[in-house]
Structure 1
Amino acid sequence: MKIRFIAGSAALAATLAVTACGSSSDSAGGPEKLTVWIMKDSVTEDFLTRFTEDFERRHQDLSLDIQIQEWDGIGEKVTAALASTDAPDVIEVGNTQVAQYAASGGVRDLTDRTEELSGADWLPGLAEPGKIDGKQYGIPWYAANRVVLYHKGHFAKAGIASPPATQDAWIEDTAKLNRGDVQGIYLPGQNWYTLAGFIWDEGGDLAARSGDGWKGTLDTREAIAGMDFYRRLQALGKGPKDSDEAKPPQAEVFAQGDVAQIISVPGGAKLIEETNPALKGKIGFFPVPGKAVGTPGAVLTGGSDLIVPEASAHQDGAYEVIKALAGDTWQTDMARTMSYVPNRTSLAGAVQDSEGTAAMAAGAARGRATPNSPQWAAVEATNPIKQYMTAVLTGADPTKAAREASGSITRTLGS
């Protein structure tokens, strides 16, 4: 068993095109060595050790060489590996990156394996971006998404006994909370991840296929309605209209004690408590509300998929690794160890003992991903969505601003 940390430099990425990744060094007569790339901090070393020991015990003819990859420069490194003749056998990739890698032609089509892997039960936010032109290249591994973190004390003082279950109730409760020195919600003006969910709730999208290409769709009636809800909610706090959740860090803002709600991954609560220990035990969680009772709002699903390069020398063994990581035993173990959402809706019960993760799992059932165009990363690089949001929040005509942003997205996706 090996677990190694590997640098993510561009120089090493280039080297991969002409050198081995480790899978070709199997000793004669020994077990096949499978090289598996896992991203840094995705899971703990203890989890990987336990998984490796169990896997090798159950597969005496296989051994694992797990290599931990840095996020910095990983795109170039994976692209080089997929183009090499001696690629790793399994690679963890961000769920929204699958389209980019599949476009290279170096990723194996695993469509015929989806039924055995319970594909009908996969979270849509992981499964959909892994499926390109009807073929499943990415196998869902784990998910994470945003929920609402709230200050229990402020809710109690406002007479709110339970979290809101619909968007309308959310607006009403936030207005009640927004009094005196208390902000009903701290929502920065450029939190486009949250906006995407509101747009999906209205039946719109950020972009859509158009013939053989893609076009921006922020100017549709549905998308404009989603932006209008964002505007109404954002106005019930003092969040800046021209920055995102990182500027300033919204956990630090909440930690000051005068904010009733933020939209964050549950792990944000730990950062808040580290900054202000007095808030320990006073933070609650609920799914982003949807338009109807019993239906959480749509959320942008982050997380990872697993892919098998076409150049893998051990295709059958690679599938066994994926089958194990995506199966019940290790999905449940990982969810409890890492507070992630499992890859299947039927496994949500594994995280019910954690309030924050349970809220995240409820939202994940309606999770979505960004448009699975290979060029979507280029859209995020310039991000006209953020500029559009600031324009609307500062008084620009919503229809005109949406049309301009959609045009920018269309041009980028067609480049």
Structure 2
Amino acid sequence: MRRVRGFGVTVMALALLAAGCAATPAAPSGPTTTLTVWLMKESAPDNVISELDQQFHTLHPDVEVKLTTLEWPGRDARWQAGMAGATPPDVMEMGNSDVLAYASAGKLADLSKQDFENSDTWLTGLRDAGSYQGRLYGVPYYGGDRVVIYRKDLWQQAGLGDPPTTLAQLQADALKLMNANKATDFSALYFPGRYQYAALPFVLDAGGAIATQQDGKWAGALSSSKSRAGLHAWADFVAKVSRAPADKDETSDVDALGSGRAAMIIDQGVTAGAVAKKYPTLGEQLGVFPMPGATGPMPVFLGGSNLVVPTAGHHADLAAQWIRLLTGTQYEGLLGQSGLVPNSTGLSTFVSGITAVELTAAGKSWFTPLSTRWSAVDNANVIQDMLESIYNGRATVTEATTAADAKIGQLLNAPG
């Protein structure tokens, strides 16, 4: 009896033990790696990043993507602190003007050997901005460029038809607009004298350059024959079609177009929305087209963003894979549909309206000379001062470009 009884107690105890074990769930196997991603405010729409992260998690179930969104003001201090911290970012979005300084300082990983979709058709301005000494450090993400924004009502009043495709046609149309509007402050195309990002394309369109490097030394190239030809074309054009002030930049062009003091301006595509918001009656009267050059669209300065992998990060391979997804056709197409200019000329089927015009214009794009000291030239207003002196007649093209090249060479070759 005792043995049977003892056996029964033992069996019951084992049964209870087994039941207890079955009732205790195994610890869930969650992500074991965190990929830290820093993007900038008003970059990719939330739904795009959410969809991408879901796909990335499917490919890498053990990886959690932690996204932080930064403001543009103060970004440099935040980036510096983040890279020096205990949990540095693995992926960062940088403005394309920011990449060079970090790449030259050895703070970004070389991505040249990575395979990225559509790299053969990347926008030139974004690719160049992400490169340093022939190596890729910033993958093109999205762009933004300037187009001609015009008033259809003034266009029609002057008897004009389809938008022009060459500079000669644009000038002919502009002269008709000037004849149809006799106000002394009216500009067919509002083109202020210090507007460097609209004037320098004339230099590039003529085959010229801003500055060149040889054997480690920089030299200004604005005094070359081709660059001077481009500046002569610019000076002749603005003298005939613009009454904008010589000592101003583009900051007042929204009001110039909205108030009727101009029929056209050159600005970023989003500016059309700014004009329509401030002058609601013009919403349906605004059109856009690429700034035409001697033959086809004029080269445009390309702003935008690149994606980089900081050397301080802990997961370089995963970072490159995440970037590869976001910059590939699927998600770049979604960016294009949201109104951002995608990173490749091969993605035209994904864009429409103003974005389509911007992408067409970006097919011929450029970026500032790839010198770590180019900001010194910008801060000294070398280009703006040169343009203003030509615009108001204080200097000839020859005189102004000679002086500008001397300053450019001095600033770019300065130590430090």
TM-score w.r.t. structure 1 length? 0.87
Q: Is the 8 A contact 1:39 1:70 kept in 2?
A: yes
Within a 5 Å distance, the mapping from 1:112-123 to structure 2 comes to: 112-114=113-115, 116-123=116-123
Q: Is the 8 A contact 2:333 2:350 kept in 1?
A: yes
Which residue of the partner structure matches residue 168 of structure 2? 168
Distance 1:377 1:50 in 2: 37
Following TM superposition, by how much is the alpha carbon of 1:85 offset from its aligned partner in structure 2, in angstroms? 6.6
Which residue of the partner structure matches residue 383 of structure 2? 385
Unpaired segments ≥5 residues, structure 2:
1-27
SS at match of 1:111: coil
Q: Is the 8 A contact 2:118 2:346 kept in 1?
A: no
Change over 3 Å in CA distance of 1:29–1:45 after alignment to 2: closer
For each residue in 1:43-91, what CA deviation from the matched residue of structure 2 results, as whole angstroms up to 9, or x when unmatched?
3344433433443344322211111112222234334544567521011
Change over 3 Å in CA distance of 1:74–1:215 after alignment to 2: farther
Within a 5 Å distance, the mapping from 1:136-175 to structure 2 comes to: 136-175=136-175
Instruction: State the 4+ residue runs in structure 1 displaced beyond 6 angstroms.
Output: none
**Is 2:38 aligned against 1:37?**
yes
Out of 266, 271, 274, the residue aligned to residue 269 of structure 2 is 266
Following TM superposition, by how much is the alpha carbon of 1:161 offset from its aligned partner in structure 2, in angstroms? 0.7
Which residue of the partner structure matches residue 403 of structure 1? 402
Q: Is the 8 A contact 1:197 1:300 kept in 2?
A: yes
SS at match of 2:250: coil
For each residue in 1:88-132, what CA deviation from the matched residue of structure 2 results, as whole angstroms up to 9, or x when unmatched?
101111123222111111211111114x43311111111112121
For each residue in 1:356-397, what CA deviation from the matched residue of structure 2 results, as whole angstroms up to 9, or x when unmatched?
111111110101111111111222122210011000011112
Distance 2:43 2:227 in 1: 33
Distance 1:250 1:59 in 2: 49
Change over 3 Å in CA distance of 1:82–1:200 after alignment to 2: farther
Q: Which moved more, 1:359-368 or 1:202-211?
A: 202-211
**Is 2:242 aligned against 1:242?**
no
Following TM superposition, by how much is the alpha carbon of 1:40 offset from its aligned partner in structure 2, in angstroms? 1.6
Distance 1:77 1:216 in 2: 34
Which residue of the partner structure matches residue 368 of structure 2? 370
Within a 5 Å distance, the mapping from 1:187-202 to structure 2 comes to: 187-202=191-206
Out of 256, 267, 290, the residue aligned to residue 259 of structure 2 is 256
Distance 1:321 1:379 in 2: 36
Q: Which amino acid is 2:99 matched to?
A: V
Q: Is the 8 A contact 1:83 1:106 kept in 2?
A: no
* Structure having the larger proportion of residues in helix: 2
Q: Is the 8 A contact 1:82 1:107 kept in 2?
A: no
Which residue of the partner structure matches residue 412 of structure 1? 411
Q: Which amino acid is 1:258 matched to?
A: R
| Amino-acid identity (%) | 32
Q: Is the 8 A contact 2:220 2:408 kept in 1?
A: yes
Q: Which amino acid is 1:240 matched to?
A: P
Following TM superposition, by how much is the alpha carbon of 1:186 offset from its aligned partner in structure 2, in angstroms? 0.7
SS at match of 1:184: strand
Out of 263, 277, 282, the residue aligned to residue 279 of structure 1 is 282
For each residue in 1:232-268, what CA deviation from the matched residue of structure 2 results, as whole angstroms up to 9, or x when unmatched?
222212111111111xx21122111231100011111
Q: Which amino acid is 1:94 matched to?
A: G
**Matched residue count:** 381
SS at match of 1:125: helix
Distance 2:343 2:399 in 1: 39
Q: Which amino acid is 1:237 matched to?
A: S
SS at match of 1:189: coil
Q: Is the 8 A contact 2:188 2:262 kept in 1?
A: yes
- Taking only aligned residues, the RMSD between alpha carbons, in angstroms, comes to 1.9
SS at match of 1:101: helix
SS at match of 2:212: strand
Q: Which amino acid is 1:161 matched to?
A: G
SS at match of 2:190: coil
Within a 5 Å distance, the mapping from 1:1-400 to structure 2 comes to: 30-82=31-83, 86-114=87-115, 116-179=116-179, 180-181=182-183, 182-235=186-239, 236-246=241-251, 249-292=252-295, 295-337=296-338, 339-351=339-351, 353-354=352-353, 356-395=354-393, 396-400=395-399
Distance 1:73 1:324 in 2: 28
Q: Which moved more, 1:54-63 or 1:306-315?
A: 54-63
Distance 2:323 2:105 in 1: 21
Q: Is the 8 A contact 1:129 1:371 kept in 2?
A: no
SS at match of 2:88: coil
SS at match of 1:96: coil
Q: Which amino acid is 1:216 matched to?
A: G
Q: Which amino acid is 2:385 matched to?
A: Q
SS at match of 2:361: helix
Distance 1:76 1:213 in 2: 30
